[in-house]
Amino acid sequence: MIESLEIAHLAVIVITHNSAHALPRWLAALEAVCDRRLLELCVADSGSSPEQVAEMEAATRGRVDHFLRLPNYGFGGACNAGAEATSAPILLFTNPDVEVRSLPARMLDGSGLGGAVVGGYGTDPYRPLGFAEAPGLRSEARELALGRWSSSYGRSETAPSWVSGASLAIERSSFDRIGGFSPDYFMYFEDADLCGRHCLAGGTVELDEELLVEHGGGQSSDAETSSMLVDALDGVQRASGRVYARRFGRPIDGLLLYLLMVLTYIPRRALVELLRNRRPFGAVARHILYLLWPNRALRRIVGSSP
């Protein structure tokens, strides 16, 4: 335990899941970027294996202020637990494969964020971690119909609709006012939802060039990701898109996206997987089941945790 939390204005919360390989680099980067006493560090572990938890605890013992051992709550649920465990007035949520290279002075000196949700920039390649278009009927429909050829979720430097949860900062007062991350998302779009509710409450979303991070490209977990788990994650992601569309659009938008998924996305993915990837029919059928019944996909994901 660090003995100087009274001077820390910034709580940095990392969400881990079998992330022992990445956590030492996450911690070393923060220790190098500023006076360690200015930071309140929290590891919120979401359902890692006992072996992974033991390894992460050993790597961080005496170097972090809080280590939370949680069931697999998903990203947003673990973020909420981390926020509750900390006390600093500004919260910075990160992935374990994010290495912070610089922090804005306003996060460290108590100046505050001016009521904004703040995202950063990736160092390699240098690009904003903010997005021009919020999820919704149009953007999700393009994703379902066009896949990688879709223009949805392009990066934005000037007026982001939302910023990535890989490095997202918010004042605790704002976070508490909107009730933190929504429990309606296990994974995917919980960061967009937080930004959307924050804006509806009168807040803003912006990027700060002084928040520089090196992002490892999604390698947050070192556990081998089976094709079954990838299929389950796809089902959860599509369901999260429908939740967002219903919440910030019309109630019927979620149904329209479900029908579009059935008519376009599922046939296209099934054809690609059968012909190009040479996956057996049983694996393709399982993927379709996860897309049609996301609760089954969620049970598969949570069931893969101890």
Are the C-beta atoms of residues 73 and 187 closer than 8 Å to each other? no
Report pLDDT for 158. 84
Beta-ladder partners of 119: 168, 207
Average pLDDT for the chain: 91
What per-residue confidence (pLDDT) applies to 204? Answer: 97
**pTM, entire model:** 0.91
Q: Is the pLDDT of residue 220 over 60?
A: no
Assess whether pLDDT exceeds 50 at residue 238: yes
Confidence category of residue 273, pLDDT binned at 50, 70, 90 = confident
**Taking the domains of the chain in order of start, what are their residue ranges?**
5-129+164-215, 227-303
As to burial, measured by CB atoms within 10 angstroms (0-12 exposed, 13-18 middle, 19+ buried), residue 207 is buried
Confidence of residue 228 (pLDDT cuts 50, 70, 90): confident
118-138 confidence digits (pLDDT tens): 999 998 788 899 999 999 999
Q: Is the dihedral of CA 257, 225, 15, 51 positive or negative?
A: positive
Quote the pLDDT of residue 175: 98
Whether 6 shows a pLDDT value over 70: the answer reads: no
Q: What is the model's pLDDT at position 3?
A: 54
Q: Where are the alpha helices (DSSP H) in 110-189?
A: 137-146, 172-177
Looking at residue 215, what is its pLDDT? 83
Average pLDDT of the segment spanning 262-279: 85
Tokens (6 digits) for 238: 């599509």
Say how many C-beta atoms besides its own lie within 10 A of residue 180's C-beta. Answer: 22
CATH code at 5-129+164-215: 3.90.550.10
Q: What is the pLDDT of residue 286?
A: 92
Does the structure show a pLDDT above 60 at 217? no
Nearest-angstrom CA–CA distance, 288 and 266: 7
* CA separation for the pair 270, 97 (Å, rounded): 31
pLDDT in tens, 36-60: 999 999 999 999 999 999 999 999 9
Alpha carbon distance 287, 289 (integer Å): 5
Strand boundaries in the chain, DSSP class E: 10-16, 39-46, 66-70, 90-94, 98-102, 116-123, 126-128, 130-131, 162-163, 167-171, 204-215
Q: What is the pLDDT of residue 221?
A: 53
State which H helix or E strand residue 220 sits in.
Answer: none
Model pLDDT, residue 276: 72
For residue 4, is pLDDT > 80? no
CA-wise closest residue to 91 among 124, 58, 42: 42
Note whether 197 and 182 are within 8 A (CB).
yes
Q: pLDDT-derived band of residue 279, with 50, 70 and 90 as boundaries?
A: confident
Q: How many helices (H) and strands (E) does the chain have?
A: 12, 11
- Percent pLDDT > 70 in the chain is 93
Question: Which pLDDT score is estimated for 224?
Answer: 43
Which residue's entry shows tokens 């996860």? 290
Residue 222: pLDDT above 80?
no
Q: At 155, is the secondary structure helix, strand, or coil?
A: strand
- 75, amino acid identity: F
pLDDT of residue 303: 76
